[in-house]
Amino acid sequence: MTSRPFEILPSIDVRGGKVVDLYQGDFAQETVYNDAAETVARRFVDAGCRWIHMVDLDGSRDGTGRNKGIIRRVSEVAKRSGVRLELGGGIRSLDAVAAALELGVDRAVIGTAAVEQPEMVGEAVVRFGADAIVVGIDSRDGLVATRGWTAGSTVRAAALARQMVERGVVRFVCTDITRDSTLTEPNFASLEEIALAVADSGARVIASGGVTTVEQVRRLKDAGLEGAIIGSALYVGKMRLEDALAAAGHDGPIQQQAEIR
């Protein structure tokens, strides 16, 4: 039986129409990058990624859809190259999932609604298919945070993962907020706890937050996770996407389907 490839998902976070990076999810500690989101996406595509992870931070905090144009443009860049797109941020209803998929997104990441409206997640799995739905579990000290990481909860991350598996979820993106954008390392213990909690179901876990070195990529791969989302380390030059892809076992860029202009 062929094992699943370990995926590297370079991340593009957008707020107010710009590519940004938030330190530990703090909107007051924002770095703004000059390149347009589609320019960043082209750079990731050229490096050979097979997935791009995108976050609408305006949607995460207040549910607005002001970045739809940017999301669609990134989706077009991805589709022309055979690359797939995953989107999170403010997806809290079936209509929001449908709207994301209509923009050309392949997978919609549901975070806040998994805590506040768990039944909706099950309905989304039935309506759109399990492969189109990802549950984002963002946590501090093991407790889930919601609404763009601005609201806390008493729900433990591993417990939420088990609840979501019962509703048909097969994939999770798990972020330790205290590691996000810190250029340190992922919370390996937390990731392994969540992966163990859903192991019997066959559900898969993608790591996010703090991934900074190729050695960490290899460790996440060896731990049996499905992939890693990398953002800050790529933007500040701590790690090359090509090196992360090589550490993950990628052979090289996928066949280009059309020239990107």
Residue 200 backbone dihedrals phi, psi, to 5 degrees: -65, -25
CA–centroid distance for 107 within its chain: 10
| Contact in structure between 31 and 246 (CB atoms under 8 Å) | no
User: pLDDT tens, 210-258?
Assistant: 999 999 999 999 999 999 999 999 999 999 999 999 999 987 554 433 3
- Choose between 125 and 182: higher pLDDT: 125
Lowest-confidence pick of 42-51, 162-171, 173-182:
173-182
- Whole-number Cα distances in Å, 22 to 42, 84, 85, 178: 22, 24, 21, 11
Residue 178, amino acid: T
- Choose between 210 and 153: higher pLDDT: 210
Q: Which is catalytic among the residues 13, 56, 176, 180? A: 13
DSSP string, 101-119: HHTT-SEEEE-HHHHH-HH
Q: Which two tokens stand for residue 83?
A: 């690359």
pLDDT at 1: 33
Asked if residue 2 has pLDDT above 60, the reply is no
User: pLDDT tens, 52-106?
Assistant: 999 999 988 777 778 999 999 999 999 999 999 999 998 999 999 999 999 999 9
Q: Which is catalytic among the residues 56, 138, 176, 180? A: 138
Q: What angle do CA 261, 19, 85 make, to 5 degrees?
A: 60
68-92 b/e (C-beta count within 10 Å ≥ 16 → b): eebbebbbbbbebbebbbbbbbbbb
**Hey, what CATH topology would domain 7-248 get?**
TIM Barrel (3.20.20)
pLDDT at 147: 66
As a 3-state breakdown, the chain gives helix, strand, coil percent values, each rounded to 5, of 40, 25, 35
Other Cβ atoms within 10 Å of 138 Cβ, number? 23
Residue 179 backbone dihedrals phi, psi, to 5 degrees: -100, -15
What SS3 class is residue 245? Answer: helix
13 classed as catalytic? yes
Report the run of H or E that residue 189 belongs to, with start and end.
helix 188-198
The answer for residues whose C-beta is within 8 angstroms of residue 166's C-beta and 6 or more apart is none
pLDDT at 112: 87
138 classed as catalytic? yes
